[in-house]
Amino acid sequence: MSDPMNVLAPEHRRLRIGDAWRDAASGATFAVEDPATGKTIAEVADADAADGLAALDAANRAMAEWAATPPRKRSELLTATYRALTERSEDIARLITLEMGKPLAEARGEVAYGAEFFRWFAEEAVRVEGRFSIAPAGGYRILTVPKPVGPCVFVTPWNFPLAMGARKIAPALAAGCTTITKPAGQTPLTMLLLARIMEEVGVPPGVVNVVTTKRSGKVVSALLADGRTRKLSFTGSTEVGRVLLRQAADNVLRTSMELGGNAALIVCADADLDVALDGAMVAKMRNIGESCIAANRIYVEEPVREEFTARFAERMGALSVGHGLDDGVNVGALIDEASVAKIDELVADAVDRGARVVVGGERPDGPGHFYPPTVIVDVPDDARMLEAEIFGPVAPIISFTSDDEVMAKANDTEHGLAGYVFTRDLQRALRFAEGLDTGMLGINRGLISDPSAPFGGVKQSGIGKEGSHEGILEYLDLTYVAIDLP
């Protein structure tokens, strides 16, 4: 088996700023570990605020020329990136698994998903349009001109180290913006590899900059305080999002925020249980449950609760846990010890309050950050796991007896990112679609992410949309021109 680290040369494990790969100004580095073993797999540059501002210098210098680059040329470079990612899918997937922990099959899916953002926004790059119209009262004409917002700062999470960066970088470049990406400290290698690939396909220096750091607060704060930064996009927790929004307010930055979730998955008694079980497994266990749109609370209507629970628990218990690079593994390692400890505490809290574990529920001995697929029932309303984002392979199941009851419980959260409903009654499905406070909803489907669809939440789950046609609008300002014409 080849070493996944061979795809990223040591000289490319540094900061990507302008046309150079450079060490941090201080010379500092930090370790990246394999969460399945706890062993260090690489050392990367640990930037400070000065390095972040150097990346902003580069992005600012490149901004005018990149904005003036013909849309077709920008489109071709995004298409070339899509092709390179597709051709190198296996190497990239193995690197993702090594630094993040997900099974290789999941990592391959992420590469395909992330690559699609480059293909989608390559197509959108040549379709940015303004409009020309006669003013209703006559006497002049109205012209609208879309323009790139300017240098963008991206703060990306560890759970999808390629796709979350791709979802931001692709539309920004399509719109004519330059970028500085600060990837999560746990998973910086994949973003560095993406920057290397984009360099290889010909994206000009300064358009894609990557700053790796364990000192995120200082670096990001410095970037947001600089007036040359014009856009912030963040994917991560609501708690951190609130902090960044306050900082962004000082310079009135454009912001896109994809924040925490607490998705309810609702199984109605009239659902096709085979479809519901398939959908629930995907919605709960995609990415080991480490997803903002993962099913966090599973509500099952009382007449089918017993059957659904038994069949779901059987499926969860049959999943294989191990190193994501090993054959046959369904559930890889969680990202770090803190994640495992949090899940363990949430399960213990629910059990203390009267819940019952059906399968799983005990972390294994040995190295690595593992937690078994777990199903827990009789979960009381005051259990912490019904409000906290579990972010792991734990599924609480709660019964319900009426649509009004489950709608109220599903909406009783500060979050509103995603939800799922399984029913064969079209009118019932539409009532849930209108009544649930979510930015996204899957009906008889557990997989809803798609580059061609608008991804984003309501309430405290975020601001703005990523993907789809709406995604490129997040990176465009609009100038209105009034032209005198009697």
Please, are residues 309 and 378 in contact by the beta-carbon 8 Å criterion? no
Please, are residues 68 and 189 in contact by the beta-carbon 8 Å criterion? no
Please, are residues 162 and 114 in contact by the beta-carbon 8 Å criterion? yes
Query: What's the pLDDT score for residue 5?
Result: 85
End-to-end CA distance of the chain: give it in Å, rounded. Answer: 74
- Which residues on neighbouring strands pair with residue 264, listed in sequence order? 297, 419
Residue 376 phi, psi dihedral angles, 5° rounding: -130, 135
CB atoms near residue 112 (< 10 Å): 14
> Tokens representing 174?
């399509």
Query: What's the pLDDT score for residue 1?
Result: 52
Query: What's the pLDDT score for residue 402?
Result: 98
Please, are residues 451 and 116 in contact by the beta-carbon 8 Å criterion? yes
**Residue 345 carries which DSSP code?**
H
> Tokens representing 468?
């789809």
Query: What's the pLDDT score for residue 486?
Result: 87
Query: What's the pLDDT score for residue 475?
Result: 98
Catalytic residues: 258
* Surface-to-core class of residue 364, CB atoms within 10 Å of its CB (0-12 exposed, 13-18 middle, 19+ buried): exposed
Rounded Cα distance, 332 and 97, in Å: 8
Give the DSSP H/E element, type plus range, for residue 134.
Answer: strand 131-134
* Surface-to-core class of residue 113, CB atoms within 10 Å of its CB (0-12 exposed, 13-18 middle, 19+ buried): middle
Which whole-number Å values give the CA distances from 342 to 64, 391, 452, in the listed order? Answer: 46, 9, 34
Query: What's the pLDDT score for residue 78?
Result: 98
Please, are residues 357 and 327 in contact by the beta-carbon 8 Å criterion? no
Which whole-number Å values give the CA distances from 61 to 206, 240, 286, 362, in the listed order? Answer: 7, 30, 40, 53
Which whole-number Å values give the CA distances from 283 to 276, 416, 422, in the listed order? Answer: 10, 16, 12
Question: Model pTM?
Answer: 0.97
> How do the pLDDT tens digits run along the chain, 486 residues long?
568 888 999 999 999 999 999 999 999 999 999 999 999 999 999 999 999 999 999 999 999 999 999 999 999 999 999 999 999 999 999 999 999 999 999 999 999 999 999 999 999 999 999 999 999 999 999 999 999 999 999 999 999 999 999 999 999 999 999 999 999 999 999 999 999 999 999 999 999 999 999 999 999 999 999 999 999 999 999 999 999 999 999 999 999 999 999 999 999 999 999 999 999 999 999 999 999 999 999 999 999 999 999 999 999 999 999 999 999 999 999 999 999 999 999 999 999 999 999 999 999 999 999 999 999 999 999 999 999 999 999 999 999 999 999 999 999 999 999 999 999 999 999 999 999 999 999 999 999 999 999 999 999 999 999 999 999 999 999 999 999 998
